[in-house]
Structure 1
Amino acid sequence: MVDQNFRYTQVFSNTGHALSHLFMMIYPTVVLALETEFSAPYHVLISLMLAGNILFGAAALPAGYLGDKWGAINMMVVFFFGTGLSAILVGLADNQIQIVLSFALIGFFGSIYHPVGIAWIARTIKNRGKALGINGVFGSLGMGIAPIMAGALTDVFSWRAAFIVPGIFSIIIGIILLIFSLKGLIKENEMKMDNEESESSEGDRRRGILLLLFTVACTGLIYQATSFMLPKLIEMRLTNFVGEGLIGVGLIVSIIYFLSGGMQLVGGWLADKYQLKRVYLVCWILQIPLLVIAGFLNTALIFPVLAMMVVANTIGSPAENSLFAKYSPPKWRSTAFGVKFVLALGVAALAVPLVSWAHRLVGEFTWLLVILAVIAAIAAAFTVLLPERKALATYKVPNVAS
């Protein structure tokens, strides 16, 4: 039986995961409307989110360290308030400089979630794969909700509403979490282990972490590059299907990420049932042909191909996070996840200039997708080298005193 504390932990952590991705995905859809308002081309406007994207990764390490020292709950309160207020500032921006600075704040406060929120769950539950799979679903829900929400609010009201409305919602969630914490309804909870040192041998831990640092960087780059280019790619290749305005584009992107979110439950189940390394490897191998096909396909069939491409990338997340938790020291798990996401999201920051460069150079994303397929092939080769040995430690379900 899952204790009430973990239920609350799941609710707030999963909501935070959804919001962290939602705030980062609003702009790639809204930017299509800004081309007219700011009289600037796509490749210039999409680059305005670069600073925020860099901070989304670069600030993850200090955020993870503070999560270990100051506590996950306190850091998550800061996350909800900080991202909410920053999003409202973006909605109030009147020029490109204000958008850059405000979005940088979204990236800065948004960086708190991944090292803190995911480690918060990883340290408090036995069936880690299932819990992280559910958590991943919420991340994809945020990705899925953002395009259709941004498109609808932009078409009905203005692009500003697409930032202000979710910003207010995030602040409300932060207030609720703060109240729950002050009243003792939710508290920090560290799962006990039979072996306090590690879940793997020291040699396997070093080898596993080094290899995973490379593969998670590849995951982040492919995930961010494809997510940022999707709205524009769909607008260009499915013009006859999406119609005018942003709702059509947003709907298709949303459907893709809703599908990928549901499949993360499958990814969590696979991570609990089968060897993590094999699950992770299969997900990498699947991405290679799908990225290449998406690069050259110019018919309505690109929709299911794009959906499978995104699913292949995200379904491996529970296995990846479980592997990283397995090879990281228990007492420094938030810091370890901070290192992971500094690298993954820091390298992923390259996605913004890559997407901008590809569109400015040829007006399309064909060869960028081919480059991403090559990166996926290299990551698959690194995954083959991961240690095969099983975990040393056995978990016990936490028993928290009321």
Structure 2
Amino acid sequence: MNRPATVLAYVNAAHFIDHYAMLVFPAALIVMAPVLGYDYGELLPYATPGFVAFGAGSLLTGWLGDVWSRRHMMLIFFIGIGLALICVGFAATPLQFGFTLFLVGAFAAIYHPVGTAMIVAYAPRLGREIGRNGVFGNLGVASSALATGLLAQYLGWRAAFIAPGLASIAIGIAFARAVVHESREGHKAATAASRVPKEAMWRVLAALVITVLASSTAFNAVTVALPKLFAERLTELTTSPALLGLIAAGVYVFGALAQYTIGGLIDRHGLRAVFLPLCFLLAPALYLSAILSGPALLVASVLVIIALFGQVTINDAMVGKYTSDRWRSRAYAARYFIGFTAAGGAVALVSMLHAQGGFTLAFQVLAGLGLMVIVGGLIFPAERAPELEAQAAE
């Protein structure tokens, strides 16, 4: 029998790797493009196949996690994404980048439906563990910008892909030895009926779909654009790729702190009490990011990251609370299929808007998505108090 702490540790490591791997290319592109003789905007669209695979692939991987083995799928994740990153490191043409980044996205698609379902099954406290897991994903985003900048500057851009690829394979080997496949009989099931009235479930679903569509697109666009935004508007501070990565990493740390805090608040106060106030933060923060520069931009960016990463914790807790273990991977697959497939177009959207009106236009458009998040928050129904929910579940 697997120890919950061991499983959760490896799942957290997988979340770190997942987000790290998906953002190496946008961060490395600042160094890669001049070396390869291209402009930033010419190569950025070749990341799109990977982000589309990241979302679309979750339907298959979630189904396999439920009907086959979540443990085996996670092993494939560690080894597969490591090999795919190494392949990107050896690519030389735009088409090769598009294909190898597609492979990275396809293997990355395993984590969210499978890994998040494992968290719900093994977590002693759902909100706390989802929040903690979100911190690892956030640190993966932050470390990707920082480590990629350092590796690209001192060892070359190819090392920025090969080094994390080797690390992922090594962790996968350790995971294979420490975690075994086991029956999921007895894992915790959701008790949705104890949380909201049956006739209000459509509001839960509507709120989830709206917020996932809007926040996931904004999330992907912001994480892809942030290094370039800082390079353009923080010229006095970003004098090297390594320093640029350090500043981006510092901003993402606030998102990690927000996720951990929000996870704990969900356990104590319920989803809606945390969900609704957070919804009103994203739109104004994105609009301010569109028009500000210098230190003021850093403050606005911190607010954007807090809102976006906090929303990820809310959405994951929502699915975990309202689905049973029997088909939880498939429920997360649907959640991430909607989110990441929509987000896949964010890369092309950022590239197009940046070409037409710079990041001012791009972030103004993203602020409109923030208004959709507010709609989702207003639709979500009130839940029973945590103590009443616990009594109803007994």
Q: Which band: TM-score by shorter chain?
A: over 0.9
Residue aligning to 1:229? 225
CA change 1:81–1:393 in 2 (3 A) is farther
Residue aligning to 1:54? 52
Q: Secondary structure at the match of 1:301?
A: helix
- Any idea what the Cα deviations from partners look like across 1:219-271, whole Å, max 9, x if unmatched? 1111110110001100000111111x311111111111122112211111111
Counterparts of 2:323 and 2:205 in 1: how far apart (Å)?
A: 7
Counterparts of 2:67 and 2:323 in 1: how far apart (Å)?
A: 17
The answer as to whether partners of 1:281 and 1:384 remain within 8 angstroms in 2 is yes
CA change 1:222–1:194 in 2 (3 A) is closer
Counterparts of 1:395 and 1:146 in 2: how far apart (Å)?
A: 44
Q: Secondary structure at the match of 2:23?
A: helix
Moved more, 166-175 or 207-216: 207-216
**Aligned partner of 1:265 among 260, 266, 277:** 260
Moved more, 326-335 or 130-139: 326-335
- Any idea what the Cα deviations from partners look like across 1:30-78, whole Å, max 9, x if unmatched? 0011221221111111111000000000111111111111121111001
The answer as to whether partners of 1:200 and 1:326 remain within 8 angstroms in 2 is no
Residue aligning to 2:39? 41
**Aligned partner of 1:250 among 228, 235, 245:** 245
State the shift of 1:208 in Å.
1.2
For 1:292, the aligned partner's letter is Y
Sequence identity percentage = 29
Counterparts of 2:242 and 2:285 in 1: how far apart (Å)?
A: 26
Residue aligning to 2:78? 80
How many equivalent residue pairs? 391
Residue aligning to 1:367? 361
**Aligned partner of 1:239 among 232, 235, 239:** 235
State the shift of 1:189 in Å.
6.9
Q: Secondary structure at the match of 1:120?
A: helix
Residue aligning to 2:201? 205
Counterparts of 1:200 and 1:66 in 2: how far apart (Å)?
A: 30
State the shift of 1:195 in Å.
5.7
RMSD across aligned positions (CA): 2.3
The answer as to whether partners of 2:77 and 2:110 remain within 8 angstroms in 1 is yes
Question: Where do 5+ consecutive residues of structure 1 fail to align?
Answer: 397-402
Moved more, 305-314 or 315-324: 315-324
Q: TM-score, normalised by structure 2?
A: 0.93
For 1:373, the aligned partner's letter is A
Q: Secondary structure at the match of 2:237?
A: helix
Matched, 1:313 2:311: no
Residue aligning to 2:101? 103
Residue aligning to 2:126? 128
CA change 1:299–1:333 in 2 (3 A) is same
- Any idea what the Cα deviations from partners look like across 1:150-174, whole Å, max 9, x if unmatched? 0100111110100100100101111
CA change 1:92–1:100 in 2 (3 A) is same
Q: Secondary structure at the match of 1:94?
A: coil
Q: TM-score, normalised by structure 1?
A: 0.92
For 1:218, the aligned partner's letter is A
The answer as to whether partners of 1:221 and 1:348 remain within 8 angstroms in 2 is yes
Counterparts of 1:237 and 1:308 in 2: how far apart (Å)?
A: 17
Residue aligning to 1:142? 140
Q: Normalized per residue, which structure has more helix? A: 2
State the shift of 1:329 in Å.
3.7
The answer as to whether partners of 2:189 and 2:324 remain within 8 angstroms in 1 is no
**Aligned partner of 1:274 among 269, 274, 283:** 269
State the shift of 1:213 in Å.
1.4
Residue aligning to 1:339? 334
Counterparts of 2:354 and 2:227 in 1: how far apart (Å)?
A: 13
The answer as to whether partners of 1:73 and 1:187 remain within 8 angstroms in 2 is no
CA change 1:207–1:308 in 2 (3 A) is closer
- Any idea what the Cα deviations from partners look like across 1:146-204, whole Å, max 9, x if unmatched? 0110010011111010010010010111111112235x7x8757524596988655433
Residue aligning to 2:166? 168
For 1:365, the aligned partner's letter is F
The answer as to whether partners of 2:149 and 2:245 remain within 8 angstroms in 1 is yes
For 2:162, the aligned partner's letter is I
**Aligned partner of 2:15 among 12, 17, 20:** 17
Counterparts of 1:196 and 1:212 in 2: how far apart (Å)?
A: 14
For 1:232, the aligned partner's letter is K
Counterparts of 1:194 and 1:251 in 2: how far apart (Å)?
A: 41
CA change 1:292–1:75 in 2 (3 A) is same
Question: Where do 5+ consecutive residues of structure 2 fail to align?
Answer: none
